[in-house]
Chain A
Amino acid sequence: MRLKLKNKQYLLFSVGSLIIVGMVFILDIVLYLSHTFPPNIYLIREMSIVIAYFLLGYVIYHKEYTNIVHKLKTFFLSILGVFITVSIPRLFLNQNYLERITNLPVLISSVKSLLNSTFISFFATIFSFSVLFILRDLIYYRSKKGTRKLFSLTLLLLVAYVICTHFSGRFYETAGAFSEKTTVERVLYGALLFFILFLSLRTAWVNYLNKRQKIAAFWGGILILPGAIMLTRSATYQHIFYYSVTLGTFDLFVAHFLNVYIAIALISLLLHLPTASIFDRKMKQISSLHNLSQVINSVLDYDKVVTKITELVTNVLDCKYSWLELADGNSDRLVVASAKGLTNRDLETMNLNSHSGVSGWIIQNKRSILVNEVGKDARAKYLRDWKKDIGSLLGVPLLSQNQIMGILYAMKEDEFGFDHEDQQMLQAFANQATIAIENARLVEESLEKERLEQEMRVAHQTQMKLLPQRRPEIQGLDIDAICIAANEVGGDYYSFVELSPSRLGIVIADVSGKGISAAFYMAQLKGIIDAFSKIYESPKVLLQKLNRTLYDNIDRMSFVSLIYAVVDTNKKRLNFCRAGHCPVFYYSTRDKKVHTLVPAGIGVALDKGPIFDRTIEQIEICFNPGDIFVFYTDGLSEARNQNQEEFGEQHLQQIISQGNQLSAQELKTAIVDELRQFIGTARTYDDMSLLIVKIEETKEE
């Protein structure tokens, strides 16, 4: 809204000024035709012109420039524009015109010359305004307050000078030649020139151009300066005086200002040219460091960060190859995390070694390395075997808490491609990169942790689903079981297989490992046992088969301890094998004692087959009503309280012995209660499972 209002205002001002200029033109024609020149009208005419151009100046003043380059371009183009505009009329007007024009404005020689002077004044003044404001902006570039004051003072002085010129009346004397400047005018003009000179020394913007821009600005200036000087000297410019003394004085002043400024700026540019490329590179380095810190703050994706790092290195150091090696998690080996300029084949054939060569040197010294001639440096020579076109190289360590986290390399084809400044710069860059990488890693770690927790939840759910959802219904058996999952999911598992109405298969197992892998092996185990139990009647044979099957499908660090038992209520016998699992506690009513049953047998999937087959032993118990079999996992017997004391097998036996009259469920509750009380608030690290089989008293007896 505000902008629109402003635009309207500018339009109004522009149109207003054009109307005034038009009216002045009509007035001039009238004066020309009537061949009179009343002095009073002259003042009104001059005032009107001042107002008209003041309005125009206001509009030009508010033109916005995006940056300094835009400004310089406008500058150059407007100078060129006015040069052409002012020169063109001269091509069409003959020398006679020039002579006749010397009588202006007192006597207007022709309508044509009148048109010409109005036209030239108009464009020259617009040009002067834009030049003045651009000059002002250039001078103000990174300037101090004093400069601004000086500039305002200069403009005030200019106004004073213009007024003086009017009052001196030297332009209004008849017949051509102007009279000499008065003393006041000279003093004022001298002061103006001095101020101009002083202001022209403010050329700070030159520093902020890059090399290419500096060269362009220099040649642009060389091209323009003669033109600009010619303009001020040319008779054409004098036409403005005939049109309006105010405009003429103003335009001439600006033109002088311009000439001086261009000349000084050219000198400044010339002085800056030799150092331009160094300055450029510094700027590029600073901006790339800035760029990197932005990347740190915005990109948290590890892969993107490492890719960006090498990309920026090649960019900033203007080198062909760059790559980043980072320490690989647990081992101290360095692995290429990202590379720029290298092909996949290069990466495969890379003969870098973190113990010797350049990397070894950097790791040992924890310092950066600069190799000017790769072919002649003993530390780097071997790199030539890998890539023939490496001339010079830079390598800097990424240090985190004085530990080498990685190495950042830059390589060029030319020898002596890098200097010490590059080395320092790359080190600064590497320091930033270290932070970026650490941040990205932290984020990744927390994501990983979240993923692990999620995995644990899934594993826990899977484990719980794999456990039997109901107790088996077998006549004559009172059964109960529980699995108390640890804070961290363990690998406990139990299940029942109803082989016939009187035969029940019982499995209790502890799969080593945790989380998803344990849950996965558990599911495998369940499948194999469910299938095999229908085929193999003997627990021993079943376990032998199970061992061979599982051994081929489980990772070498994992194994399963388990017990497989078959209870036959008709024959009143329990047959079982123990594959590396905890013992079975058997309470016998006959001697009223708890027996520990430990038949020989090694864990499942520890051995391919021969040892397992040889050691596994099956035992048979002939049971009586009231007898109790207690199966459990080591998580239960090894559960600890806060004093790090173990619950213990004896403790368990004791409870069984005391609770021999209880039902399976009651005994389970008694054990679990006692266990929970024992553990208290201590953390549990392993699942605790308990499976109780009690032989019921038969009704006939």
Chain B
Amino acid sequence: MAEFGVERKDVNGVSVLYIKGYLDAHTAPEFEQAIRQLLNEGRYKIVVNFKDLSYISSAGLGVFMGFIEEIRNNKGDIKLSNMTDKVFRIFDLLGFPSLYEIFQDEQEAIEKF
């Protein structure tokens, strides 16, 4: 099982989080902390790049839900990009496209802010 990992890149006012591997109940806290860190720094414009994410469980999806209210209340947003078909299907089944903006490309997502 591929190790989960999260890396961060700040592009002007937008922070991009690159997540890779498996995002499930075990690794969700790590992702949670990465987002918490951004919020602590007052960065509410977040793009999550799914390029290297191979799997996401419901606990992983829960992380997005846990912060979205706070982020949107602060005039920010989480935008998602570069999902593989498999990951997109998980998001799609759950109806995430009606809750989040999902982009093919990271740059596209950044420009949307």
Contact of A611 among B24, B58, B93, B99 (CB under 8 A): B99
Contact of B58 among A561, A600, A602 (CB under 8 A): A561
A603 at the binding interface (Cβ < 8 Å): yes
Stretch of A146-154, A342-350, A552-560 on the interface side? A552-560
B61 at the binding interface (Cβ < 8 Å): yes
Q: In chain A, what residue has the closest Cβ to B25?
A: A514
Cβ distance A156 to chain B, nearest Cβ, rounded Å: 81
Q: A582-B93, A606-B94 known; A559 and B58 CB under 8 Å?
A: yes
Contact of B94 among A514, A558, A603 (CB under 8 A): A603
Q: In chain B, what residue has the closest Cβ to A555?
A: B66
Q: Is the CB of A615 within 8 A of B93?
A: no
Bound Cα distance from A602 to B91, whole angstroms: 10
B6 at the binding interface (Cβ < 8 Å): no
Q: Is the CB of B58 within 8 A of A615?
A: no
B94 / chain A contacts, CB cutoff of 8 Å:
559, 561, 580, 602-603, 606
Cβ distance B92 to chain A, nearest Cβ, rounded Å: 9
B66 / chain A contacts, CB cutoff of 8 Å:
556-557
B29 / chain A contacts, CB cutoff of 8 Å:
330
In the complex, which range does the number of interface residues on chain A fall in?
20 to 34
Q: A512-B61, A559-B62 known; A602 and B25 CB under 8 Å?
A: no
A176 at the binding interface (Cβ < 8 Å): no
Contact of A607 among B24, B61, B99 (CB under 8 A): B99
A614 / chain B contacts, CB cutoff of 8 Å:
98
Contact of B99 among A561, A598, A606 (CB under 8 A): A606
A607 / chain B contacts, CB cutoff of 8 Å:
99
A513 at the binding interface (Cβ < 8 Å): yes
Q: Is the CB of A600 within 8 A of B95?
A: yes
- The A-contacting residues of B in range 45-72, CB under 8 angstroms, are 57-59, 61-63, 65-66, 69
Q: Is the CB of B1 within 8 A of A644?
A: yes
Q: Is the CB of B98 within 8 A of A602?
A: yes
The size of the chain B interface, using a CB distance under 8 A, is 21
Cβ distance B32 to chain A, nearest Cβ, rounded Å: 8
Mark A496-521 against chain B: 1 for CB-CB distance below 8 A, else 0.
Answer: 00000000000000101110000000
Cβ distance A621 to chain B, nearest Cβ, rounded Å: 19
A686 at the binding interface (Cβ < 8 Å): yes
Count how many pairs of residues, one from A and one from B, have CB atoms less than 8 Å apart in the complex.
Answer: 66
A582 / chain B contacts, CB cutoff of 8 Å:
93
Q: In chain A, what residue has the closest Cβ to B40?
A: A331
Cβ distance B23 to chain A, nearest Cβ, rounded Å: 12
B33 at the binding interface (Cβ < 8 Å): yes
Q: Is the CB of A510 within 8 A of B58?
A: yes
Bound Cα distance from A582 to B94, whole angstroms: 8
Q: Is the CB of A556 within 8 A of B69?
A: yes
- The B-contacting residues of A in range 640-689, CB under 8 angstroms, are 644, 685-686
Bound Cα distance from A611 to B69, whole angstroms: 14
Q: In chain A, what residue has the closest Cβ to B28?
A: A557
Q: Is the CB of B58 within 8 A of A513?
A: yes
Q: In chain A, what residue has the closest Cβ to B58?
A: A512
Q: Is the CB of A513 within 8 A of B1?
A: no
A601 at the binding interface (Cβ < 8 Å): yes
A581 at the binding interface (Cβ < 8 Å): yes
Q: Is the CB of B65 within 8 A of A685?
A: no
Cβ distance A483 to chain B, nearest Cβ, rounded Å: 16
B103 at the binding interface (Cβ < 8 Å): no
Bound Cα distance from A557 to B61, whole angstroms: 8
Contact of A686 among B1, B57, B99 (CB under 8 A): B57
Mark A586-598 against chain B: 1 for CB-CB distance below 8 A, else 0.
Answer: 0000000000001
Interface centre among B24, B62, B63 (most CB of A within 10 A): B62
A491 / chain B contacts, CB cutoff of 8 Å:
58
Q: Is the CB of A580 within 8 A of B93?
A: yes
B96 at the binding interface (Cβ < 8 Å): yes
Bound Cα distance from A558 to B62, whole angstroms: 6
Bound Cα distance from A428 to B20, whole angstroms: 44
- The A-contacting residues of B in range 1-37, CB under 8 angstroms, are 1, 24-25, 29, 33
Bound Cα distance from A607 to B95, whole angstroms: 10
- The B-contacting residues of A in range 317-355, CB under 8 angstroms, are 330
A581 / chain B contacts, CB cutoff of 8 Å:
93
A514 / chain B contacts, CB cutoff of 8 Å:
25, 59
Bound Cα distance from A614 to B69, whole angstroms: 19
Cβ distance A586 to chain B, nearest Cβ, rounded Å: 17
Bound Cα distance from A513 to B66, whole angstroms: 13
Q: In chain B, what residue has the closest Cβ to A644?
A: B1
Cβ distance A687 to chain B, nearest Cβ, rounded Å: 11
Bound Cα distance from A300 to B85, whole angstroms: 51
Q: Is the CB of B65 within 8 A of A557?
A: yes
A583 / chain B contacts, CB cutoff of 8 Å:
93
- The B-contacting residues of A in range 477-499, CB under 8 angstroms, are 488, 491
Interface centre among B24, B66, B99 (most CB of A within 10 A): B99
B96 / chain A contacts, CB cutoff of 8 Å:
602
B1 / chain A contacts, CB cutoff of 8 Å:
644
Q: Is the CB of A512 within 8 A of B99?
A: no
Bound Cα distance from A598 to B94, whole angstroms: 11
Interface centre among B1, B33, B94 (most CB of A within 10 A): B94
Cβ distance A597 to chain B, nearest Cβ, rounded Å: 12
- The B-contacting residues of A in range 574-631, CB under 8 angstroms, are 579-583, 598, 600-603, 606-607, 611, 614-615
Bound Cα distance from A378 to B25, whole angstroms: 46
B24 / chain A contacts, CB cutoff of 8 Å:
685
Q: A514-B25, A556-B69 known; A603 and B62 CB under 8 Å?
A: no
Mark A157-187 against chain B: 1 for CB-CB distance below 8 A, else 0.
Answer: 0000000000000000000000000000000
Q: A556-B65, A556-B69, A557-B65 known; A580 and B95 CB under 8 Å?
A: yes
Cβ distance B75 to chain A, nearest Cβ, rounded Å: 19
Q: A582-B93, A601-B95, A602-B95 known; A557 and B62 CB under 8 Å?
A: yes
Cβ distance A315 to chain B, nearest Cβ, rounded Å: 39
Cβ distance B53 to chain A, nearest Cβ, rounded Å: 14
Q: A513-B59, A561-B58, A644-B1 known; A606 and B65 CB under 8 Å?
A: yes
B62 / chain A contacts, CB cutoff of 8 Å:
512-513, 557-559
Q: In chain B, what residue has the closest Cβ to A649?
A: B89
Q: In chain B, what residue has the closest Cβ to A683?
A: B1
Cβ distance B26 to chain A, nearest Cβ, rounded Å: 9
Q: In chain A, what residue has the closest Cβ to B95?
A: A602
Jot down 28 A-B pairs with beta carbons below 8 A, ordered by A: A330-B29, A330-B33, A488-B25, A510-B58, A512-B59, A512-B61, A512-B62, A513-B58, A513-B59, A514-B25, A556-B65, A556-B69, A557-B63, A557-B66, A558-B62, A559-B58, A559-B94, A579-B95, A581-B93, A598-B93, A600-B95, A601-B95, A602-B98, A602-B99, A603-B94, A607-B99, A615-B98, A644-B1
Q: Which residues of B contact A (CB under 8 A)?
A: 1, 24-25, 29, 33, 57-59, 61-63, 65-66, 69, 90, 93-96, 98-99
Q: Knowing that A556-B65, A559-B58 touch, tell me 13 more A-B residue pairs with CB under 8 angstroms.
A: A491-B58, A512-B59, A512-B61, A513-B58, A556-B69, A579-B95, A580-B94, A598-B93, A606-B65, A607-B99, A614-B98, A615-B95, A634-B90
